[in-house]
Amino acid sequence: MREPAGDVPESAVLVDRFDRRFRSLRVSLTPACNFACVYCRPADHRTFQHGSALLSLGEIARVVRTAAGLGFRKVRLTGGEPLVRPHVPDLVADLKAIPGIAEVALTTNGSLLPRHAGRLKSAGLDRVNVSLDSLNREAAAKLAGRDVLAEVLAGLEAAASTGLPVKLNVVPVRGVNDHEALDLALYGAERGWEVRFIEYMPMGRVAQSLPDATVPTAELRERLAERFDLHPDPSVSASDPARRWVCRRTGARVGFISSLTENFCGACDRMRLTAEGQLRPCLHQDAGVDVRGPLRAGADDAALAVLFNRAADAKWAGHEMTAAEPRFSERDMISLGG
Protein backbone atom coordinates (compact mmCIF):
# COMPACT_ATOMS: atom_id res chain seq x y z
CA MET A 1 0.00 0.00 0.00
CA ARG A 2 1.42 3.40 -0.99
CA GLU A 3 1.61 5.94 1.79
CA PRO A 4 0.66 9.48 0.72
CA ALA A 5 3.41 12.08 1.04
CA GLY A 6 1.77 15.32 2.08
CA ASP A 7 0.40 17.09 -0.97
CA VAL A 8 2.01 14.60 -3.40
CA PRO A 9 -0.66 12.51 -5.15
CA GLU A 10 -0.56 8.93 -3.99
CA SER A 11 0.03 7.77 -7.55
CA ALA A 12 3.19 9.89 -7.79
CA VAL A 13 4.91 8.62 -4.63
CA LEU A 14 8.03 6.66 -5.57
CA VAL A 15 7.84 3.04 -4.37
CA ASP A 16 10.19 0.21 -5.34
CA ARG A 17 9.41 -3.40 -6.24
CA PHE A 18 9.41 -4.36 -2.56
CA ASP A 19 6.88 -1.70 -1.55
CA ARG A 20 9.46 0.56 0.08
CA ARG A 21 8.62 4.23 -0.25
CA PHE A 22 11.50 6.65 -0.87
CA ARG A 23 11.74 9.59 1.52
CA SER A 24 15.45 10.37 1.77
CA LEU A 25 17.96 11.52 -0.87
CA ARG A 26 21.66 11.58 -0.05
CA VAL A 27 23.46 14.03 -2.32
CA SER A 28 27.23 13.93 -2.76
CA LEU A 29 28.54 17.38 -3.63
CA THR A 30 32.10 16.30 -4.42
CA PRO A 31 34.35 13.23 -4.40
CA ALA A 32 37.14 15.40 -2.99
CA CYS A 33 38.13 15.53 0.68
CA ASN A 34 40.75 17.21 2.82
CA PHE A 35 41.06 14.08 4.99
CA ALA A 36 42.27 10.63 3.93
CA CYS A 37 40.27 8.37 6.24
CA VAL A 38 41.42 4.76 6.03
CA TYR A 39 37.88 3.33 5.94
CA CYS A 40 36.78 5.66 3.14
CA ARG A 41 39.60 5.79 0.60
CA PRO A 42 42.72 3.73 -0.18
CA ALA A 43 46.09 5.25 0.68
CA ASP A 44 47.01 5.96 -2.95
CA HIS A 45 43.65 7.49 -3.85
CA ARG A 46 43.77 10.90 -5.49
CA THR A 47 40.58 12.83 -6.09
CA PHE A 48 40.33 16.03 -8.08
CA GLN A 49 37.24 18.08 -8.78
CA HIS A 50 36.54 18.37 -12.47
CA GLY A 51 34.12 21.24 -12.99
CA SER A 52 31.88 20.04 -15.81
CA ALA A 53 32.06 16.42 -14.67
CA LEU A 54 30.19 17.33 -11.51
CA LEU A 55 26.59 18.44 -11.32
CA SER A 56 26.32 22.17 -10.79
CA LEU A 57 24.55 23.35 -7.65
CA GLY A 58 21.66 24.47 -9.83
CA GLU A 59 21.43 21.02 -11.40
CA ILE A 60 21.43 19.45 -7.95
CA ALA A 61 18.55 21.69 -6.89
CA ARG A 62 16.67 20.73 -10.04
CA VAL A 63 17.04 17.01 -9.26
CA VAL A 64 15.93 17.59 -5.66
CA ARG A 65 12.81 19.43 -6.88
CA THR A 66 11.94 16.38 -8.97
CA ALA A 67 12.56 14.15 -5.93
CA ALA A 68 10.25 16.28 -3.80
CA GLY A 69 7.51 15.76 -6.35
CA LEU A 70 7.95 12.01 -5.90
CA GLY A 71 7.57 12.11 -2.12
CA PHE A 72 11.18 12.61 -0.97
CA ARG A 73 11.20 14.73 2.18
CA LYS A 74 14.77 14.61 3.50
CA VAL A 75 18.04 15.63 1.86
CA ARG A 76 21.48 14.93 3.29
CA LEU A 77 24.52 16.62 1.73
CA THR A 78 27.65 14.50 1.76
CA GLY A 79 30.97 14.09 -0.02
CA GLY A 80 33.95 13.49 0.08
CA GLU A 81 33.90 16.52 2.27
CA PRO A 82 30.93 18.61 1.09
CA LEU A 83 32.29 21.89 2.44
CA VAL A 84 35.29 21.87 0.10
CA ARG A 85 32.71 22.70 -2.58
CA PRO A 86 32.08 26.46 -2.84
CA HIS A 87 28.70 28.05 -2.06
CA VAL A 88 27.19 25.19 -0.04
CA PRO A 89 25.15 27.59 2.17
CA ASP A 90 23.53 28.98 -1.00
CA LEU A 91 22.56 25.45 -2.03
CA VAL A 92 21.11 24.78 1.43
CA ALA A 93 18.92 27.87 1.13
CA ASP A 94 17.75 26.79 -2.33
CA LEU A 95 16.90 23.29 -1.14
CA LYS A 96 15.05 24.57 1.93
CA ALA A 97 12.87 26.65 -0.39
CA ILE A 98 11.69 23.61 -2.37
CA PRO A 99 8.08 22.73 -1.46
CA GLY A 100 7.94 19.38 0.27
CA ILE A 101 11.54 19.26 1.48
CA ALA A 102 11.18 19.09 5.25
CA GLU A 103 14.79 18.58 6.28
CA VAL A 104 18.23 19.40 4.91
CA ALA A 105 21.18 17.99 6.87
CA LEU A 106 24.91 17.82 6.22
CA THR A 107 27.56 15.23 7.04
CA THR A 108 31.05 16.67 7.43
CA ASN A 109 34.43 15.98 8.98
CA GLY A 110 34.02 19.30 10.80
CA SER A 111 37.29 20.89 9.77
CA LEU A 112 35.66 23.68 7.72
CA LEU A 113 32.78 24.43 10.07
CA PRO A 114 34.52 27.38 11.74
CA ARG A 115 34.36 29.11 8.36
CA HIS A 116 30.85 28.04 7.35
CA ALA A 117 28.71 27.17 10.39
CA GLY A 118 27.14 30.62 10.75
CA ARG A 119 26.10 30.84 7.11
CA LEU A 120 24.81 27.27 7.12
CA LYS A 121 22.65 28.03 10.13
CA SER A 122 21.34 31.23 8.51
CA ALA A 123 20.58 29.32 5.30
CA GLY A 124 18.29 27.00 7.25
CA LEU A 125 20.41 23.86 7.68
CA ASP A 126 18.52 21.59 10.08
CA ARG A 127 21.37 19.50 11.45
CA VAL A 128 25.03 18.69 11.07
CA ASN A 129 26.55 15.25 11.59
CA VAL A 130 30.25 15.53 12.40
CA SER A 131 32.70 12.64 12.18
CA LEU A 132 34.61 12.24 15.44
CA ASP A 133 36.33 8.87 15.39
CA SER A 134 38.68 9.39 18.31
CA LEU A 135 39.45 11.73 21.19
CA ASN A 136 43.07 10.64 21.03
CA ARG A 137 45.26 12.77 18.79
CA GLU A 138 47.43 9.91 17.53
CA ALA A 139 44.52 7.56 16.83
CA ALA A 140 42.60 10.34 15.06
CA ALA A 141 45.64 11.03 12.87
CA LYS A 142 46.03 7.34 12.06
CA LEU A 143 42.42 7.12 10.93
CA ALA A 144 42.27 10.42 9.03
CA GLY A 145 45.69 10.36 7.43
CA ARG A 146 46.92 13.51 9.17
CA ASP A 147 46.72 15.40 12.47
CA VAL A 148 43.06 16.47 12.55
CA LEU A 149 41.67 16.30 16.08
CA ALA A 150 42.07 20.00 16.92
CA GLU A 151 40.32 20.96 13.66
CA VAL A 152 37.39 18.63 14.30
CA LEU A 153 36.92 19.87 17.87
CA ALA A 154 37.05 23.48 16.66
CA GLY A 155 34.39 22.64 14.09
CA LEU A 156 32.16 21.14 16.75
CA GLU A 157 32.58 24.24 18.88
CA ALA A 158 31.68 26.44 15.92
CA ALA A 159 28.55 24.44 15.16
CA ALA A 160 27.42 24.48 18.78
CA SER A 161 28.04 28.21 19.12
CA THR A 162 25.70 28.95 16.19
CA GLY A 163 22.96 26.75 17.59
CA LEU A 164 23.21 24.09 14.89
CA PRO A 165 21.92 20.74 16.18
CA VAL A 166 24.82 18.25 16.24
CA LYS A 167 25.14 14.50 16.03
CA LEU A 168 28.47 12.69 16.20
CA ASN A 169 29.42 9.93 13.76
CA VAL A 170 31.95 7.34 14.89
CA VAL A 171 33.35 4.49 12.78
CA PRO A 172 34.93 2.00 15.19
CA VAL A 173 37.90 0.26 13.58
CA ARG A 174 39.15 -2.78 15.42
CA GLY A 175 42.54 -2.27 16.99
CA VAL A 176 42.57 1.48 16.39
CA ASN A 177 39.70 3.26 18.15
CA ASP A 178 37.17 0.61 19.17
CA HIS A 179 38.34 0.81 22.78
CA GLU A 180 37.15 4.45 22.88
CA ALA A 181 33.45 3.68 22.39
CA LEU A 182 32.54 4.44 26.00
CA ASP A 183 34.63 7.64 26.12
CA LEU A 184 33.02 8.91 22.91
CA ALA A 185 29.52 8.10 24.16
CA LEU A 186 30.24 9.98 27.39
CA TYR A 187 31.68 12.91 25.43
CA GLY A 188 28.47 13.21 23.44
CA ALA A 189 26.20 12.69 26.46
CA GLU A 190 27.91 15.49 28.37
CA ARG A 191 27.09 17.88 25.54
CA GLY A 192 23.61 16.61 24.75
CA TRP A 193 24.67 15.15 21.40
CA GLU A 194 23.60 11.77 20.09
CA VAL A 195 26.56 9.59 19.16
CA ARG A 196 26.06 7.27 16.19
CA PHE A 197 28.35 4.27 15.90
CA ILE A 198 28.62 3.19 12.27
CA GLU A 199 29.87 -0.29 11.45
CA TYR A 200 32.85 -0.17 9.12
CA MET A 201 31.70 -1.30 5.67
CA PRO A 202 34.33 -2.86 3.38
CA MET A 203 34.04 -1.28 -0.05
CA GLY A 204 36.27 -0.80 -3.06
CA ARG A 205 39.97 -1.32 -2.59
CA VAL A 206 39.69 -0.58 1.13
CA ALA A 207 37.98 -3.96 1.52
CA GLN A 208 41.36 -5.58 0.79
CA SER A 209 43.58 -3.07 2.59
CA LEU A 210 41.57 -2.99 5.83
CA PRO A 211 40.36 -6.55 6.48
CA ASP A 212 38.65 -7.79 9.66
CA ALA A 213 38.15 -4.26 10.93
CA THR A 214 34.40 -4.31 11.57
CA VAL A 215 33.30 -4.13 15.21
CA PRO A 216 29.80 -5.64 15.53
CA THR A 217 27.11 -3.50 17.10
CA ALA A 218 26.33 -6.15 19.71
CA GLU A 219 29.90 -5.93 20.94
CA LEU A 220 29.72 -2.15 21.24
CA ARG A 221 26.42 -2.26 23.12
CA GLU A 222 27.98 -4.67 25.60
CA ARG A 223 30.86 -2.26 26.19
CA LEU A 224 28.55 0.71 26.67
CA ALA A 225 26.46 -1.25 29.16
CA GLU A 226 29.31 -0.75 31.65
CA ARG A 227 28.10 2.82 32.09
CA PHE A 228 24.75 3.27 30.34
CA ASP A 229 21.44 1.59 31.12
CA LEU A 230 20.48 1.39 27.44
CA HIS A 231 17.04 0.53 26.12
CA PRO A 232 15.71 0.72 22.55
CA ASP A 233 13.91 3.95 21.66
CA PRO A 234 10.50 2.84 20.34
CA SER A 235 9.80 6.24 18.75
CA VAL A 236 12.39 5.81 16.00
CA SER A 237 11.05 5.17 12.51
CA ALA A 238 11.81 1.74 11.04
CA SER A 239 13.33 3.47 8.01
CA ASP A 240 15.90 5.31 10.12
CA PRO A 241 19.26 3.60 9.47
CA ALA A 242 20.28 4.19 13.08
CA ARG A 243 18.74 2.07 15.79
CA ARG A 244 18.60 4.49 18.69
CA TRP A 245 19.02 3.49 22.31
CA VAL A 246 18.39 5.70 25.34
CA CYS A 247 19.86 5.55 28.81
CA ARG A 248 16.88 5.54 31.19
CA ARG A 249 18.95 6.97 34.00
CA THR A 250 20.54 9.93 32.20
CA GLY A 251 18.63 10.37 28.94
CA ALA A 252 21.87 9.96 26.96
CA ARG A 253 21.25 8.80 23.39
CA VAL A 254 23.35 6.56 21.18
CA GLY A 255 22.57 5.16 17.76
CA PHE A 256 23.93 2.16 15.89
CA ILE A 257 24.09 1.94 12.11
CA SER A 258 24.68 -1.77 11.70
CA SER A 259 24.85 -2.29 7.96
CA LEU A 260 26.63 -5.62 8.27
CA THR A 261 25.38 -7.36 11.39
CA GLU A 262 21.87 -5.94 11.88
CA ASN A 263 21.00 -4.44 8.50
CA PHE A 264 17.92 -2.30 7.85
CA CYS A 265 17.48 -3.07 4.15
CA GLY A 266 13.87 -4.13 4.52
CA ALA A 267 12.83 -0.63 5.55
CA CYS A 268 15.38 1.39 3.57
CA ASP A 269 13.87 4.58 2.12
CA ARG A 270 17.04 6.08 0.61
CA MET A 271 18.47 6.80 -2.79
CA ARG A 272 21.77 8.49 -3.60
CA LEU A 273 22.79 11.12 -6.11
CA THR A 274 26.52 11.02 -6.82
CA ALA A 275 28.51 14.16 -7.50
CA GLU A 276 28.84 13.11 -11.15
CA GLY A 277 25.07 12.79 -11.52
CA GLN A 278 24.16 9.15 -11.07
CA LEU A 279 21.08 8.06 -9.14
CA ARG A 280 22.27 5.07 -7.15
CA PRO A 281 19.59 2.88 -5.52
CA CYS A 282 21.87 1.35 -2.86
CA LEU A 283 25.27 2.27 -1.48
CA HIS A 284 26.49 -1.29 -1.94
CA GLN A 285 24.94 -1.98 -5.34
CA ASP A 286 27.02 -1.11 -8.39
CA ALA A 287 24.09 0.17 -10.42
CA GLY A 288 23.17 3.70 -11.33
CA VAL A 289 21.03 5.81 -13.63
CA ASP A 290 22.61 8.83 -15.28
CA VAL A 291 20.77 12.12 -14.82
CA ARG A 292 23.56 14.51 -15.82
CA GLY A 293 23.32 13.72 -19.51
CA PRO A 294 19.52 14.04 -19.73
CA LEU A 295 19.58 17.22 -17.63
CA ARG A 296 22.04 18.86 -19.98
CA ALA A 297 20.06 17.66 -22.98
CA GLY A 298 17.00 19.52 -21.72
CA ALA A 299 15.05 16.79 -19.91
CA ASP A 300 11.82 18.07 -18.37
CA ASP A 301 10.46 17.12 -14.93
CA ALA A 302 8.50 14.16 -16.30
CA ALA A 303 11.63 12.76 -17.95
CA LEU A 304 13.61 13.15 -14.73
CA ALA A 305 10.84 11.38 -12.81
CA VAL A 306 11.18 8.44 -15.22
CA LEU A 307 14.88 8.22 -14.31
CA PHE A 308 14.02 8.10 -10.60
CA ASN A 309 11.58 5.30 -11.30
CA ARG A 310 14.21 3.42 -13.25
CA ALA A 311 16.63 3.66 -10.32
CA ALA A 312 13.92 2.56 -7.86
CA ASP A 313 13.11 -0.48 -10.01
CA ALA A 314 16.77 -1.55 -9.87
CA LYS A 315 17.02 -1.47 -6.06
CA TRP A 316 17.88 -4.81 -4.50
CA ALA A 317 15.78 -6.33 -1.73
CA GLY A 318 18.93 -6.04 0.38
CA HIS A 319 22.68 -5.80 0.05
CA GLU A 320 24.71 -8.98 -0.21
CA MET A 321 27.60 -8.17 2.11
CA THR A 322 26.77 -11.02 4.47
CA ALA A 323 26.17 -13.72 1.87
CA ALA A 324 28.40 -16.81 1.60
CA GLU A 325 30.19 -15.05 -1.26
CA PRO A 326 29.90 -11.38 -0.28
CA ARG A 327 29.37 -8.88 -3.08
CA PHE A 328 30.94 -5.56 -2.12
CA SER A 329 30.76 -2.41 -4.18
CA GLU A 330 33.83 -1.95 -6.35
CA ARG A 331 33.74 1.82 -5.83
CA ASP A 332 35.45 3.47 -2.90
CA MET A 333 33.21 5.06 -0.29
CA ILE A 334 34.62 8.54 -0.96
CA SER A 335 33.27 8.50 -4.51
CA LEU A 336 29.71 7.62 -3.45
CA GLY A 337 28.83 9.93 -0.59
CA GLY A 338 28.29 7.21 2.02
Query: 113 vs 76, 99, 150, 164, 166, CA distance in Å?
Result: 16, 27, 12, 11, 12
Q: What does the pLDDT read at residue 265? A: 84
Q: Work out the average pLDDT over 52-81.
A: 97
Q: Was 331 annotated as part of a binding site?
A: no
pLDDT tens for residues 37-48?
888 876 666 666
Question: Is there a binding annotation on residue 265?
Answer: yes
Check whether 26 is labelled as a binding-site residue: yes
Chain centre distance of CA 308: 19
Does residue 203 register a pLDDT over 80?
Answer: no
The whole-model pTM stands at: 0.92
- The answer to whether the annotation marks 39 as part of a ligand binding site is yes
Is 333 assigned a ligand-binding role in the annotation? no
Question: CA 242, 246, 249 angle in degrees (round to 5)?
Answer: 170
- Who contacts 218 (Cβ-Cβ below 8 Å, separation ≥6)? 261, 262
The answer to whether the annotation marks 203 as part of a ligand binding site is: no
Q: CA of 90: how far to CAs of 120, 122, 164, 278, in Å?
A: 8, 10, 17, 22
Domain boundaries along the sequence of the chain: 10-167+265-335
Using one digit for the tens of pLDDT, what is the confidence trace for 260-292?
Answer: 788 878 889 999 999 999 999 987 787 899 999
Which fold does the domain 10-167+265-335 belong to in CATH? TIM Barrel (3.20.20)
What pLDDT was estimated at residue 47?
Answer: 63
pLDDT value of residue 2: 40
Question: Residue 247 annotated as binding?
Answer: no
Task: State yes or no: 268 annotated in a binding site.
Answer: yes
**Using one digit for the tens of pLDDT, what is the confidence trace for 132-146?**
999 999 999 999 999
Please state the rounded mean pLDDT for residues 178-193: 96
Angle between helical axes of 88-96 and 113-123 (0-180°, round to 10): 20
Radius of gyration, CA atoms only, the chain: 19
Task: Say whether 327 counts as a known binding-site residue.
Answer: no
Q: Is 271 annotated as a binding residue?
A: yes
With residue 28 as reference, give the H or E element that holds it.
strand 24-28
In percent, the amount of the chain with pLDDT more than 70 equals 88
Q: What is the amino acid identity at position 37?
A: C
1 in a labelled binding site: no
Q: Is residue 25 classed exposed, middle or buried when 0-12, 13-18 and 19+ CB atoms within 10 A define those classes?
A: buried
Residue 187 known to bind ligand = no
Task: Check whether 131 is labelled as a binding-site residue.
Answer: yes
Mean pLDDT of the chain: 89
pLDDT for res 334: 67
Q: Which of 338, 332, 337 is nearest to 45 (CA)?
A: 332
